[in-house]
A and B are shown apart, each in its own frame.
Chain A
Amino acid sequence: MIQISAKSIENMITPTPKIKTAALLCAISLLNFSLFALAGEMKDADGTTAKQNRIEIKDFAFNPQKITVKSGEKITWINRDGEPHTVVSVGKKFQRSSGLDTDQEFSIIAGAPGTYEYFCSVHPKMTGTIVVEK
């Protein structure tokens, strides 16, 4: 399985687990980032894995179609179709994925609270919503 992680739009950050939370909070405070994406796996301070929000892409649909997460949580899409799909933010509010082949994943870290619409740019009938809460 191949893991794809998004890079942040303006700068690539590869923090160690210790500084990750601080870096994330700092980033969230910058209003110009709506959603913030980090490379690497997101873990909280005591080393346990943060809540996983997984969206399965299957039968040309995002499942669940709408997901509510807390700011700072990781969101991961995995493509279970034989057809490639993408994850693209409406209004370019977060980094888009490249074309995801079967079983490929794409992750972002939820940033500022708000509602974010996204779609598959290959099959634009496929749409989804992320609600980020504080």
Chain B
Amino acid sequence: MSNYICHDHEHDGIDRRGFLKCMAWAGTGVLWTVSGGVLVSKTLAEVAKTGSSLPKATDLSFLQISDSHIGFSKEANKDVTETFKIALDRINAMPTQPAFLIHTGDISQLSKPEEFDTFDQVLKSCKTKDVFYVPGEHDVLNDGGKLFRDRYLKSVEGKGSGWYSFNKNGVHFVGLVNVVNLQAGGLGQLGDEQLEWLEDDVKGLSAETPIVVFAHIPLWAVYPKWGWGTDNSERALGYLKRFGSVTVLNGHIHQVLQKVEGNVTLHTAMSTAFPQPEPGKGPNPGPLTVPSEKLRSMLGLTSIQYKQSKSALAVVDSNLS
């Protein structure tokens, strides 16, 4: 990666590449500071205009929470319900409430109805009421995700195992499911039916439509040996290549990591429950126990802002300490 500034669109002395290099460094640190930074997408003005079929994009702010693991009570965090509450308190304390939340999966630890009940009960305290969900593998342990779909996909038109899309403020959102029908020896799985749907779903959109994709397991090969990746994710991203701004939001690995491929920015969020080791560090990807005074610094949430005036999409991670 070059150290030279190539594209200083914002005239702030840093280009996206350089900024991401900083982000990559920060993301691999043990401690994540209160504001992880701002990710600036390629300016939409750069994208060749091909005519927009969507209403003109306007400012939008939403929030990603992930990996609540309600029901978990082991050493790494004996009270995940409490840390989830703290995350919601942080959202409630924001000067401007986000338009909606996205939960990127692993609501529960063991797919138990009582775990989902607890989550729903605690969530009632959140001022922001609209929440969009995709399942994590912990939410679909015993029934292929039926209970999850019955509870959390009521307000959307879920297809297949529960994927869907919607538009907000001119931004096109796609929720994908990559934790169902996993195959022996494989990674996260999208499957042909879902991929064909995705291709069709974005076909009619103009290239300047900002795209946000969210799914539980990272849609890139973070660390396949630990199952941190998704089979066929390249095919999915291939359908999105022509768009000027694509933001992919994932969970699963309980830490902030980023990767950029062309106009596609892939980002993983912290958990509200417990941290996991950096890729390949340690014997396995299980819950990471850290000193109790350090725990909240490794839990957090992600705020995403689309500012039409700046033609930029910003992703900011905040921890709970």
Contacts and interface: CB of A to CB of B under 8 A. Distances in A.
Could you tell me the dominant secondary structure of chain B's interface residues? loop
Contacts of A90: 184
Most buried by A among B138, B283, B286: B286
A123 B142 contact: no
Interface string B159-197: 000000000000000000000001111110000000000
12 contacts: A59-B283, A82-B76, A86-B141, A88-B184, A98-B142, A117-B184, A118-B184, A122-B138, A124-B183, A125-B186, A125-B224, A127-B184
Interface residues of A, number: 22
Given A122-B141, A125-B227, A84 B75 contact: no
A101 interface: yes
A64 to B, nearest CB: 17
B111 interface: yes
Interface of A: 59-60, 81-84, 86, 88, 90, 98-99, 101-102, 117-119, 121-125, 127
B18 interface: no
Contact of A124 (B110, B184, B283): B184
Interface in B205-264: 224-227
A88 B76 CA distance: 27
Interface of B: 74-76, 109-111, 137-138, 141-142, 182-187, 224-227, 283-287
Given A83-B284, A122-B137, 16 more contacts: A81-B286, A82-B287, A83-B285, A84-B110, A99-B111, A99-B142, A101-B110, A118-B184, A119-B185, A121-B137, A124-B182, A124-B183, A124-B185, A125-B224, A125-B226, A127-B185
Contacts of B75: 82
Nearest to B136: A122
B221 to A, nearest CB: 13
Nearest to B287: A82
Closest 5 CB pairs between A and B?
Answer: A99-B141, A119-B184, A124-B182, A60-B284, A59-B284
A84 B74 contact: no
A125 B285 CA distance: 12
Contacts of A60: 226, 284-286
